[in-house]
């Protein structure tokens, strides 16, 4: 299955559900309390993060997709903290605020990146279902997917009315279910229970065949189009009537904290479907996203560049020959990681030891090396009839095989100035015995604050000399 990152900026999603505030108290601990056998934490930092349905909306926004949120809070400091955090992230929040009921807060006491204690401050909300439905219906016309983020805290009391309102507009409905009554999600496009939630409804699954059979029966029973069961270290399974089951392995390299992983799955799935991805590809992207987020502490989001890098690793496209569009994308991601981009260019018609040494020296000037190669037409104009000896695709393939080279791209002009204007490398490198000001594109690079360097050539190494020697024989 080939993956690519969709246009999330064209994928508006509406989330409706239970919002809460995840609050973290961070501090050091070096002694045991004299009052009881418990560690004493000296609180040094307090951190608030949107949780529950608010975390789903935040994850969608972090991917670059327009996100709207409908939920319920109290009229209190915690509710204001939620509103402020979501607004800062670009989430359009529409809260039903209820007097005399506190916003749900989950407080975690952390020391040395370990959770020592969790305290929950919550009461089930007395939500006004009609007001919640009215807010949802107002927003449905501007979105492509509806997510029901159900934590069983009382915000969602009219699941069926919400599902039917979306279906009437042809909008897919994804639900993250809670409890043992999945009947309330009847008619949803897809639900995403974890294995424990799934087995609590259908009974224990003795093997994968049993899981598949019970899952397909549940899809038929609830008039759904698909079911996604998240299975922890065993990955996830997508089931659809009339289609082979899709089992995806877990992608986590190191599991640090599974808090909020389900939110990441449904948010990435929703944003991908809203962007037009087919369901299997959307599930695969959600699986990659989950593998990233469990390596982070607490309720966390992943960004589009993080997901893009995971896709590139999956597709084996972190290095090698690139189109210009691909090159600009990977450079953007590299810069987001603080990496310095080095650029050099040439014909590289017959690769020799001088080229290899020069490219190794160029790579040492930064973190990533881009090699821009003249296409066949420009080589012929520069070098004369009979050149190039090797076509541009072969020249690029050989360069991509060198350990010093990260990315290879070709350009049709006689000089790389147009390419330089788009790539904007941190360092422009050329080999030769001329001054920096004689390097093509030097003025352009220096104008935006880049560096230009000239490296010496290895003696007795020349493509032209090699060609003449071959011809003379």
Q: What is the model's pLDDT at position 325?
A: 83
Least reliable range by pLDDT among 113-122, 250-259, 267-276, 458-467: 250-259
Q: What is the model's pLDDT at position 302?
A: 81
* pLDDT bracket for residue 412 (50, 70, 90): very high
> Residue 408 pairs with which residues in a beta bridge?
321, 371
Annotated binding site: 194-197
Which of 141-155, 345-359, 424-438 has the largest mean confidence?
Answer: 141-155
Strand-pair category, 13-17 with 67-74: parallel
Tokens at residue 304, please?
Answer: 């589009």
Percent of the chain with pLDDT over 70: 92
Q: Which residues are catalytic?
A: 263
Q: Where are the domains of the chain?
A: 8-315, 320-472
* pLDDT bracket for residue 90 (50, 70, 90): very high
Strand-pair category, 39-52 with 67-74: unpaired
Fold type of domain 8-315:
3.40.1190
Among 275, 232, 247, which Cα is nearest to 143's? 275
* pLDDT bracket for residue 255 (50, 70, 90): very low
Q: Cα 21 to chain center, whole Å?
A: 23
Q: What is the model's pLDDT at position 463?
A: 57
| Whether the predicted pLDDT of 256 surpasses 50 | no
* pLDDT bracket for residue 365 (50, 70, 90): very high
Q: What is the model's pLDDT at position 261?
A: 79
Question: What's the mean pLDDT when you consider all of the chain?
Answer: 88
CA–CA distance, 449 with 41 (Å, rounded to integer): 47
pLDDT in tens, 219-230: 999 999 999 999
Annotated binding site for ATP: 194-197
Q: What is the model's pLDDT at position 340?
A: 94
Q: What is the model's pLDDT at position 257?
A: 42
CB 179 within 8 A of CB 155: no
Identify whether 388 is preceded by a cis peptide bond (ω within 30 of 0).
yes
CB 366 within 8 A of CB 356: no
pLDDT in tens, 28-72: 998 999 999 999 999 999 999 999 999 999 999 999 999 999 999
Q: What is the model's pLDDT at position 136?
A: 95
The more confident residue out of 254 and 180 is 180
pLDDT in tens, 374-387: 999 999 998 888 88
Among 19, 26, 22, which Cα is nearest to 56's? 19
pLDDT in tens, 397-410: 999 888 899 999 99
CA–CA distance, 447 with 427 (Å, rounded to integer): 12
The more confident residue out of 6 and 174 is 174
Q: What is the model's pLDDT at position 452?
A: 93
* pLDDT bracket for residue 123 (50, 70, 90): confident
Tokens at residue 331, please?
Answer: 């450079």
* pLDDT bracket for residue 273 (50, 70, 90): very high
Q: Cα 217–286–179 angle (5° rounding)?
A: 45
Architecture of domain 320-472: 3-Layer(aba) Sandwich (3.40)
Give the three-state DSSP class for 229. strand
Helix axes 304-315 and 279-293, enclosed angle (nearest 10): 110
* pLDDT bracket for residue 297 (50, 70, 90): low
Mean pLDDT, residues 171-188 taken together: 94
Least reliable range by pLDDT among 24-33, 257-266, 354-363, 405-414: 257-266
| Whether the predicted pLDDT of 321 surpasses 50 | yes
- What is the DSSP track for 84-135? HHHHHTT-EEEEEEETTSPPPEEEEEEETTEEEEEEEE-------HHHHHHH
| Whether the predicted pLDDT of 3 surpasses 90 | no
CB 118 within 8 A of CB 106: yes
The more confident residue out of 287 and 431 is 287
Helix axes 53-62 and 77-88, enclosed angle (nearest 10): 20
């Amino acid at each position: 299955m080939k993956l690519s990152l969709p246009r999330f900026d064209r994928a508006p999603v509406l989330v409706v559900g239970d919002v809460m505030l995840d609050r973290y108290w961070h501090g050091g601990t070096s002694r045991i309390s004299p009052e009881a056998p418990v560690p004493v934490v000296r609180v040094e930092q307090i951190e608030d993060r949107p949780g529950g349905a608010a975390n789903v909306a935040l994850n969608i926004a972090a991917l670059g997709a327009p996100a709207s949120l409908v939920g319920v809070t109290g009229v209190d400091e915690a509710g204001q903290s939620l509103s402020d955090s979501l607004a800062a992230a670009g989430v359009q929040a529409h809260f039903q605020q209820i007097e005399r009921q506190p916003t749900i807060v989950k407080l975690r006491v952390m020391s040395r990146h370990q959770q020592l204690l969790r305290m929950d401050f919550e009461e089930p909300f007395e939500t006004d279902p009609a007001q919640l439905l009215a807010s949802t219906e107002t927003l449905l016309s501007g979105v492509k997917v509806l997510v029901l983020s159900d934590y069983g805290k009382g915000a969602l009391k009219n699941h069926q009315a919400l599902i039917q309102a979306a279906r009437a507009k042809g909008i897919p409905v994804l639900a993250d279910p809670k409890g043992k009554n999945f009947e309330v999600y009847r008619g949803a496009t897809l639900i995403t229970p974890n294995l424990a939630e799934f087995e609590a409804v259908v009974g224990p699954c003795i093997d994968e065949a049993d899981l598949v059979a019970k899952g397909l029966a549940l899809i038929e029973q609830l008039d759904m189009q698909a079911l996604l069961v998240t299975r922890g270290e065993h990955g996830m399974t997508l089931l659809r009537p009339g289609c082979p089951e899709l089992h995806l392995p877990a992608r986590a390299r190191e599991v640090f904290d599974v808090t909020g992983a389900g939110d990441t799955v449904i948010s990435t799935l929703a944003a991908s479907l809203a962007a037009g991805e087919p369901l299997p590809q959307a599930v695969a992207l959600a699986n990659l996203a989950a593998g990233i987020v469990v390596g982070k502490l607490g309720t966390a989001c992943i960004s589009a560049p993080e997901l893009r890098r995971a896709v590139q690793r999956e597709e084996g496209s972190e290095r090698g020959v690139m189109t210009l569009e691909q090159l600009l994308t990977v450079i953007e991601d590299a810069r987001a990681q603080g990496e310095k981009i080095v650029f050099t260019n040439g014909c590289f018609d017959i690769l020799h030891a001088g080229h290899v040494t020069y490219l190794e020296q160029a790579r040492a000037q930064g973190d990533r090396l881009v090699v821009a190669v003249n296409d066949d037409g420009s080589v012929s104009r520069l070098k004369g009839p009979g050149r190039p000896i090797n076509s541009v695709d072969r020249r690029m393939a050989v360069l991509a095989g060198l350990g010093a080279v990260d990315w290879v791209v070709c350009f049709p002009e006689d000089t790389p100035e147009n390419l330089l204007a788009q790539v904007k490398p941190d360092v422009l490198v050329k080999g030769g015995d001329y001054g920096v000001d004689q390097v093509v594109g030097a003025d352009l690079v220096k104008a935006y604050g880049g560096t230009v360097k000239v490296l010496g050539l290895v003696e007795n190494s020349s493509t032209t000399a090699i060609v003449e020697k071959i011809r003379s024989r």
